[in-house]
Chain A
């Protein structure tokens, strides 16, 4: 239909998924802010300020998560079917925390909300910690592998009774989980510093939080980088046979010098820059470095997962069941049709950015909250 062959389309769609995943990491600043709620807000007003700042963006993050799942379903349905049904408890856990998040912004301050505002704040905290952690660990399993066997008749069997929870026993997965949670807190701090008006001590506390959480990210980041060099990765040959390759992911970084190693390093530098600027100056523009930095890092992370003949969802249980972009994808027709659909993405990005600029043109201040009636804000 489009003049691309099947492999090219599979690569294009892995790149699309990488971009979506990276944007999700950026937008996880919402989840980060949700945990910062507990650690930096000291008064009801401060809590409400943070909730209302995040509240204008939480649906975008949510929609990105949905898009991530939907893009996998449409482009790599075998992954969607295998991972979601196989690692059943992990996906159910992630799902539950996001269901709780979805109602918490709206229900938190409403009279008659049955559970009290503290409970909904807890839900937000759980979503930002447990939920995001589980997503991180799930991404980790794309490197370390799941435990599945796919039969010739397409029957999916998960080889571990913990159905996905066994991922928590693998240090690499834990590291990705912690990295994602602490990085989200870094991004959340940068975003809130940019979006909240500078009154009281809240913004100062957030500036500190950006730095402290970056320090928390470092050990996990270093561990992950170290493991990318040393861990056994899963590649595949011309005829689709899955093979083990030591240091595969580091090799992938080098094999794609710009979008791999380049984006990774540039991304990390930008994140650090954003944090330094936020912590050590009075600037509120840290997010403008940290945000794009997170996207670049995320793109690099996902690209080395699936390109350069890497199995993006390995199986420790049955090596040859491992999934690659070539054996897990939709048909040539479907990928072509979806690629046409994806031409709308720049347009979507345009209107989202336009509205973002409009809504963020003024910072959120205590006056905004105090002036409005209780039901006009979160």
Chain B
């Protein structure tokens, strides 16, 4: 149906989306988490009337504002980019995908935009109560934003609630509630926000550590550490639980992604969970080589993660690509055949309809409907195309999880020492604390890498491959905008970091 388009252009478009999305994601987690911390700090001010809490709130709010602006600037790019660079995607699934994005603007952005002005500029203009309300609304608005984006992304990972319209050649929404309450959408929302809350806590811990090392603002640092470490500790549990849920969902809804995360080529029952490992760089699907040069694994644990049953089958990449009739797994070759049949009968249906040949059209439509679930496979050239880049997914997942278990321990240590008032002299901890920001950013970005690289080649899982989703632009145009964004966003990011460092150096206003 869609003629094969310039492959180089696709890769530049993917690179551009990855670049702009990852830069945006530098700023979002801090906004999501720090907004609630601000609400906490200001709630304490409101309850106690102690101006010290106002000072603390205003200090962190200054950093928040710088970060927030950069988040807005980079977010706009993504909204436009679906249209500019992925027009085929926009047409084919816009009937479903456009709705959560529009709802995000109505229900989240307007809240953020309106109440941010009050929070930042309204200290002397509105009542204490309304100002506190505004601060909470900024947090709620930002997190609502995350909800709708993850509903949209969740739909990409697990498309539900829609039907294909053969006359218009697009998908159409049938049930918006199914889309909104999709288990993938909700578990990813919980995971993305919880990990963002954890990140924001690490940020506060890190900046506070620097002040403690410099023997400045000791009281502010201690108070901030107590609040942030409680926040981080509380949500790190939810990060892990929701992460587990996401992996369980993957096993059933996106088994190839889970297999890639584990570099599991040969499915097994039971299957072990690889803790750490080094991949064999020459390994390809179906070649019989060992996948690992070295690995340490927990027996039974992948079966348990995937199926919540210690002895159960987990399909590997080879099973999913080449099929495994014993396990009721259809090979991709068969799917491609069905997919091509679907595409063919769709084209024949449309021709017959155009010629007013209704009986023939009806026939082709029936054939189409039999194979329509394989429509996306019809665009693939080879079964191996369904395998995402295993090393990227495998290593990213591992690093993220290891950090994800480390961070709550760090929060716990900070909390304990801050409560005992012994944190000032723990130079070793405080110096390590300076690394929390880069480590936090790493874990945060890798999460998206796992889920987005892991869903390749699909833009919409099993339905629309990335190669068919792009706009009809030449590679030159996309290359140009890629480099323009690189320079623009590089400068923006550098400026933002310089400003943040300077603001941290300046510190809170004098008492």
Q: Which residues of A contact B418 (CB under 8 A)?
A: none
B90 to A62, Cβ gap below 8 A?
Answer: no
Which among A78, A103, A333 is the interface contact of B492 at CB below 8 angstroms? A103
Interface bits A219-260 vs B (CB < 8 Å: 1, else 0): 000000000000000000000000000000000000000000
Contact A74 to B66, CB < 8 A, known contacts A84-B80, A84-B83, A358-B122: no
Those of B71-110 within 8 Å (CB) of chain A = 72-74, 76-77, 79-80, 82-88, 90-92, 94-99, 101-107, 109-110
Would you call B223 an interface residue if the criterion is a C-beta within 8 Å of the partner chain's C-beta atoms?
no
- Interface 9-residue window, one of B38-46, B167-175, B226-234: B167-175
A359 to B117, Cβ gap below 8 A?
Answer: yes
Would you call A319 an interface residue if the criterion is a C-beta within 8 Å of the partner chain's C-beta atoms?
no
A107 to B66, Cβ gap below 8 A?
Answer: yes
- Return the chain B residue nearest A163 by Cβ: B477
With A and B bound together, what is the CA distance between A157 and B494 in angstroms?
38
Interface bits A260-282 vs B (CB < 8 Å: 1, else 0): 00000000000000000000000
Would you call B116 an interface residue if the criterion is a C-beta within 8 Å of the partner chain's C-beta atoms?
yes
Which among B98, B116, B472, B506 is the interface contact of A155 at CB below 8 angstroms? B472
**A75 CB → nearest B CB, Å:** 8
With A and B bound together, what is the CA distance between A111 and B506 in angstroms?
10
With A and B bound together, what is the CA distance between A377 and B69 in angstroms?
14
B80 to A91, Cβ gap below 8 A?
Answer: yes
Would you call A160 an interface residue if the criterion is a C-beta within 8 Å of the partner chain's C-beta atoms?
no
A153 to B105, Cβ gap below 8 A?
Answer: no
Q: Which residues of A contact B87 (CB under 8 A)?
A: 81-82, 84-86, 156
Those of A84-119 within 8 Å (CB) of chain B = 84-86, 88-89, 91-92, 95-96, 98-100, 102-103, 105-107, 110-115
Would you call A43 an interface residue if the criterion is a C-beta within 8 Å of the partner chain's C-beta atoms?
no
Q: Which residues of B contact A373 (CB under 8 A)?
A: 509
- Interface 9-residue window, one of A169-177, A206-214, A309-317, A340-348: A340-348
A355 to B115, Cβ gap below 8 A?
Answer: yes
B72 to A358, Cβ gap below 8 A?
Answer: no
Which among B94, B103, B114, B165 is the interface contact of A351 at CB below 8 angstroms? B114
With A and B bound together, what is the CA distance between A74 and B97 in angstroms?
8
Would you call B214 an interface residue if the criterion is a C-beta within 8 Å of the partner chain's C-beta atoms?
no
A81 to B83, Cβ gap below 8 A?
Answer: yes
With A and B bound together, what is the CA distance between A74 and B96 in angstroms?
8
B472 to A359, Cβ gap below 8 A?
Answer: no
- Return the chain A residue nearest B71 by Cβ: A102
Interface bits B471-486 vs A (CB < 8 Å: 1, else 0): 1110001000100100
- Return the chain B residue nearest A60 by Cβ: B113
Contact A334 to B113, CB < 8 A, known contacts A56-B121, A85-B83: no
Which among B98, B118, B174 is the interface contact of A80 at CB below 8 angstroms? B98
Would you call B47 an interface residue if the criterion is a C-beta within 8 Å of the partner chain's C-beta atoms?
no
B121 to A377, Cβ gap below 8 A?
Answer: yes
With A and B bound together, what is the CA distance between A52 and B492 in angstroms?
21
Would you call B1 an interface residue if the criterion is a C-beta within 8 Å of the partner chain's C-beta atoms?
yes
Would you call B130 an interface residue if the criterion is a C-beta within 8 Å of the partner chain's C-beta atoms?
yes
B77 to A99, Cβ gap below 8 A?
Answer: yes
With A and B bound together, what is the CA distance between A218 and B303 in angstroms?
73
Would you call B215 an interface residue if the criterion is a C-beta within 8 Å of the partner chain's C-beta atoms?
no
B85 to A59, Cβ gap below 8 A?
Answer: no
With A and B bound together, what is the CA distance between A377 and B481 in angstroms?
34
**A350 CB → nearest B CB, Å:** 11
With A and B bound together, what is the CA distance between A358 and B165 in angstroms?
49
A63 to B80, Cβ gap below 8 A?
Answer: no
Which among B88, B91, B101, B125 is the interface contact of A361 at CB below 8 angstroms? B125
Q: Which residues of A contact B112 (CB under 8 A)?
A: 59
Would you call A330 an interface residue if the criterion is a C-beta within 8 Å of the partner chain's C-beta atoms?
yes
Q: Is the interface of A mostly helix, strand, loop or mixed?
A: helix
**B26 CB → nearest A CB, Å:** 13
B102 to A359, Cβ gap below 8 A?
Answer: no
Q: Which residues of B contact A154 (CB under 8 A)?
A: 2, 88, 91-92, 169-170
Q: Which residues of B contact A52 (CB under 8 A)?
A: 121
Contact A77 to B173, CB < 8 A, known contacts A88-B473, A110-B499: no
- Return the chain B residue nearest A345 by Cβ: B106
**A331 CB → nearest B CB, Å:** 4
- Return the chain B residue nearest A65 by Cβ: B76
A98 to B90, Cβ gap below 8 A?
Answer: no
Those of A23-77 within 8 Å (CB) of chain B = 52, 55-57, 59-60, 62-63, 65-67, 69-71, 73-75, 77
Would you call A83 an interface residue if the criterion is a C-beta within 8 Å of the partner chain's C-beta atoms?
yes
Would you call A362 an interface residue if the criterion is a C-beta within 8 Å of the partner chain's C-beta atoms?
yes
Contact A375 to B91, CB < 8 A, known contacts A348-B106, A358-B126, A361-B125: no
Interface bits B152-189 vs A (CB < 8 Å: 1, else 0): 00000000000001000110111010000000000000
**A65 CB → nearest B CB, Å:** 8
Q: Which residues of A contact B491 (CB under 8 A)?
A: 114-115
With A and B bound together, what is the CA distance between A67 and B98 in angstroms?
11
Would you call A215 an interface residue if the criterion is a C-beta within 8 Å of the partner chain's C-beta atoms?
no
Would you call A7 an interface residue if the criterion is a C-beta within 8 Å of the partner chain's C-beta atoms?
no
Would you call B503 an interface residue if the criterion is a C-beta within 8 Å of the partner chain's C-beta atoms?
yes
Would you call B511 an interface residue if the criterion is a C-beta within 8 Å of the partner chain's C-beta atoms?
no
**B38 CB → nearest A CB, Å:** 15
Would you call B62 an interface residue if the criterion is a C-beta within 8 Å of the partner chain's C-beta atoms?
yes
A77 to B107, Cβ gap below 8 A?
Answer: no
**A4 CB → nearest B CB, Å:** 16
Would you call B241 an interface residue if the criterion is a C-beta within 8 Å of the partner chain's C-beta atoms?
no
With A and B bound together, what is the CA distance between A153 and B107 in angstroms?
35
Which among B62, B82, B94, B481 is the interface contact of A330 at CB below 8 angstroms? B94
With A and B bound together, what is the CA distance between A115 and B492 in angstroms?
10
With A and B bound together, what is the CA distance between A115 and B2 in angstroms?
46
Q: Which residues of B contact A12 (CB under 8 A)?
A: none
A153 to B113, Cβ gap below 8 A?
Answer: no
- Return the chain B residue nearest A105 by Cβ: B69
**B365 CB → nearest A CB, Å:** 17
Contact A338 to B170, CB < 8 A, known contacts A62-B113, A355-B114: no
**B501 CB → nearest A CB, Å:** 7
Contact A113 to B498, CB < 8 A, known contacts A59-B117, A84-B84, A88-B84: yes
- Return the chain A residue nearest B118 by Cβ: A355
Q: Which residues of B contact A330 (CB under 8 A)?
A: 94-95, 98, 172-173
A69 to B117, Cβ gap below 8 A?
Answer: no
With A and B bound together, what is the CA distance between A359 and B127 in angstroms?
11
With A and B bound together, what is the CA distance between A338 and B96 in angstroms?
11
Which among A82, A95, A331 is the interface contact of B95 at CB below 8 angstroms? A331
With A and B bound together, what is the CA distance between A348 and B503 in angstroms?
34
Which 5 pairs across A and B sit closest by C-beta, in order of nearness? A84-B83, A77-B94, A112-B502, A85-B87, A102-B73
Q: Given contact pairs A69-B79, A84-B83, A377-B121, enumerate 8 new A-B contacts (beta carbons under 8 Å).
A: A62-B72, A66-B109, A73-B98, A77-B91, A77-B95, A82-B87, A99-B76, A331-B173
16 A-B pairs with CB atoms under 8 Å apart are: A59-B117, A74-B101, A78-B91, A81-B88, A81-B90, A85-B86, A92-B84, A103-B73, A103-B496, A106-B65, A153-B2, A331-B172, A334-B172, A348-B106, A355-B115, A355-B117
Q: Which residues of A contact B (CB under 8 A)?
A: 52, 55-57, 59-60, 62-63, 65-67, 69-71, 73-75, 77-78, 80-86, 88-89, 91-92, 95-96, 98-100, 102-103, 105-107, 110-115, 152-158, 163, 330-331, 333-334, 337-338, 341-342, 344-345, 348, 351-352, 355, 358-359, 361-362, 373, 375-377
